[in-house]
Amino acid sequence: MKHSKEQIKKLENTAKEIRRSIIKMLFSAGSGHPGGSLSATDLVVCLYFGSYPDGEPLLRYNPAKPDWPGRDRFHMSKGHCCPLWYAVLAKAGYFSVEELGKLRKLGSMLQGHPDRRTPGVEVASGSLGQGLSVGLGMSLAGKIDKRDYRVYVLMGDGEIQEGNIWEAAMAAAHYKCNNLCAILDNNRFQIDGKIEEIMSLAPLSDKWRAFGWHVIEIDGHNIEEILCAYEEARNKNSRPTIIIASTIKGKGVSFMENVVDFHGRAPNAEETKIALKELE
């Protein structure tokens, strides 16, 4: 279903705002991971701030009550990309935007990988490959408790080279976890280089289908496609869904796009100035 131009434009502007926050945070910290944070921005922004055609939010949450039992669950399995998540949580009202300047500072609640000190974070993450198992547990708990919340897990493509991901994928299909939606940030790069050269994932979609998942393939920077994918995932009633989003590492900053060096390097002062100018 088509979405209003107003909603799409608002989400595009929010994504640009979040990308600017990411750049500022990383420059202030002097370290961190811009590439994967920027590539997944549109996916997370749409989930937190988008809505279904009937007006219901895609992700149900209450910043005033982070532990509200009826909330949907979101878990960032690729925890090194937490600058994106922190910027979104601040925008959503979980804590003050001023806290973003304390990224990776001693004693800050915004560490280099997410942990439970940060309002809105369900589970600590950072050890890659574990997030889908975490989401599976949340999914099964919801079924046992007869709650209608949904569970979303954001993964990196390099991350799914881990065997634990596929154990969780097999179990989720076996237990018909239709309340579970995985989101794959398929930017085709990992810390050491191109995915296809280090450990190819091809045929990617066929693998997930073979494991019993409903597969949706989209352009991970097209707001309309992202919103429609989340709607389709909600409407699948018998099995888990994975949204395979084709993205660009470092999206939005020309000199970072598809440059593996910016997987885990913060911009310097001159690079920050140029990046913020491009994101105006």
Percent of the chain with pLDDT over 90: 95
Residue type (1 letter), 172 = A
Note if the pTM is more than 0.95: yes
Strands 214-219 and 241-246: parallel
Task: Give 217's pLDDT tier (boundaries 50, 70, 90).
Answer: very high
At 27 the pLDDT is 98
Work out the average pLDDT over 111-130: 94
pLDDT tens readout for residues 129-176: 999 999 999 999 999 999 999 999 999 999 999 999 999 999 999 999
At 237 the pLDDT is 76
pLDDT tens readout for residues 183-207: 999 999 999 999 999 999 999 999 9
pLDDT tens readout for residues 35-49: 999 999 999 999 999
pLDDT tens readout for residues 65-102: 999 999 999 999 999 999 999 999 999 999 999 999 99
Distance between CA atoms of residues 102 and 83, nearest Å? 11
46 to 82, 109, 141, 152, 190: CA distances (angstroms): 16, 25, 25, 12, 24
Do 219 and 271 meet the contact criterion of CB atoms below 8 Å apart? Answer: no
Work out the average pLDDT over 48-64: 95
Task: Give 1's pLDDT tier (boundaries 50, 70, 90).
Answer: low
The domain that holds 273 is classified in CATH as 3.40.50.970
**pLDDT at residue 235 greater than cutoff 90:** no
Q: Which domain holds residue 51?
A: 5-278
Which residue carries 């920027």 as its tokens? 38
Q: Which of 128, 134, 131, 207 is nearest to 170 (CA)?
A: 207
Q: Which residues of 187-208 are buried (b: 16+ CB within 10 A; e: fewer)?
A: bbbbeeeebeeeeebeebbebb
How many domains, the chain? 1
Distance between CA atoms of residues 224 and 247, nearest Å? 15
Do 202 and 196 meet the contact criterion of CB atoms below 8 Å apart? Answer: yes
H/E stretch holding 65 reads: none
